């Protein structure tokens, strides 16, 4: 694994969030906070692997390597919080 990847275990949590379309609150390494529904994991030419979220019809890509914390705000989710 190089410095541009996250562990397989953490990647699995992101995949589950996308599979179930969880509502998320993301805290990035720069302390920025974003909220939205997990849609997919996509590859970006400049950012590498990204989490695609949508909030109010606006799609946003967040590099997986920029995630510090992912909180699930969907009730009865399979997990509630992941620290990266």
**Looking at residue 26, what is its pLDDT?**
98
Q: φ and ψ at 73, to 5 degrees?
A: -100, 0
Q: Is the pLDDT of residue 62 over 60?
A: yes
**Region of residue 13 (left: phi > 0; alpha: psi -120 to 50; beta: else):** alpha
Q: Is residue 43 part of a domain?
A: yes
82 located within any domain = no
Which band of pLDDT confidence, cut at 50, 70 and 90, is reported for residue 58?
Answer: very high
CB of 77 closer than 8 Å to CB of 18: no
Q: Is residue 80 part of a domain?
A: no
Structural domain total, the chain: 1
Domain of 37 in residue numbering reads as 8-74
Residue 1 lies in a domain: no
pLDDT at 38: 98
pLDDT tens profile 18-55: 999 999 999 999 999 999 999 999 998 887 999 999 99
Tell me the C-alpha distance between 56 and 47, whole Å.
23
Q: What is the CATH number of the domain that holds 57?
A: 2.30.30.100
Query: Could you tell me if residue 48 is inside a domain?
Result: yes
For residue 64, CA distances in Å to 17, 25, 38, 75, 76 come to 13, 14, 12, 24, 24
Instruction: Please determine, for residue 2, whether its predicted confidence score (pLDDT) is greater than 60.
Output: no
Residue 74 has pLDDT above 70, yes or no: yes
The answer to whether residue 36 is domain-embedded is yes
């Amino acid at each position: 694994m190089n410095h541009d990847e996250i562990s397989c275990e953490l990647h699995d949590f992101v995949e589950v969030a996308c599979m179930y379309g969880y509502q998320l609150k993301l805290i990035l390494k720069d302390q920025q906070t974003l909220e939205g529904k997990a849609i997919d994991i996509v590859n970006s030419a400049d950012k590498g692997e990204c989490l695609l979220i949508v909030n109010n019809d606006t799609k946003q890509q967040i590099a997986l390597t920029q995630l510090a914390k992912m909180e699930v705000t969907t009730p009865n989710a399979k997990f509630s919080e992941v620290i990266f």
